[in-house]
Structure 1
Amino acid sequence: MIRLPAALALAIALIGCAGPQKDYPALVPMDSLLGAEAVEPAPTAELQAQGNALRARADALRSAQP
């Protein structure tokens, strides 16, 4: 009895895939991705302060290790 639902599911899946093959639309324009220059992020003062604090902490940890 388990084989019948499995066979029906397989048949339905194959019937669903039997439609005409279509080209997929281009979802991402490659020309604009490859042609555009990378934009440098402009960090805010808060992010720069956090980065400086993390770098200072890392330097302190490195100097404390033998």
Structure 2
Amino acid sequence: MPHRFAMLFCLALAACAEMPDLALPAAPASGAAPRILPLDDLVAQARLDPPGTAVAAPAPLMGRAAALRARAAAMRGPVNDPATRARLAAAIDARG
């Protein structure tokens, strides 16, 4: 019974809301319509141009990628120095 009352209340509340404006957006005034290609042509083109071979990356992007790789390599090492790791291990052993 309480579920029916809650559903009836929600329906009554929704009936009080204003209807949204569902107007269609205006079509672009200029420009040609896009060309629709057969799927077979698109698949064949994708096989001819594997990813990464079509366009060479610009130099600033390559430099940034190298810097990010160097930063990632620097983060691969241990987080704590040996003295801190030894102190933490001793504290864990003392509790357990």
TM-score by length of 2: 0.35
TM-score by length of 1: 0.49
Structure with the higher fraction of residues in helix conformation: 1
Structure number with greater Rg is 2
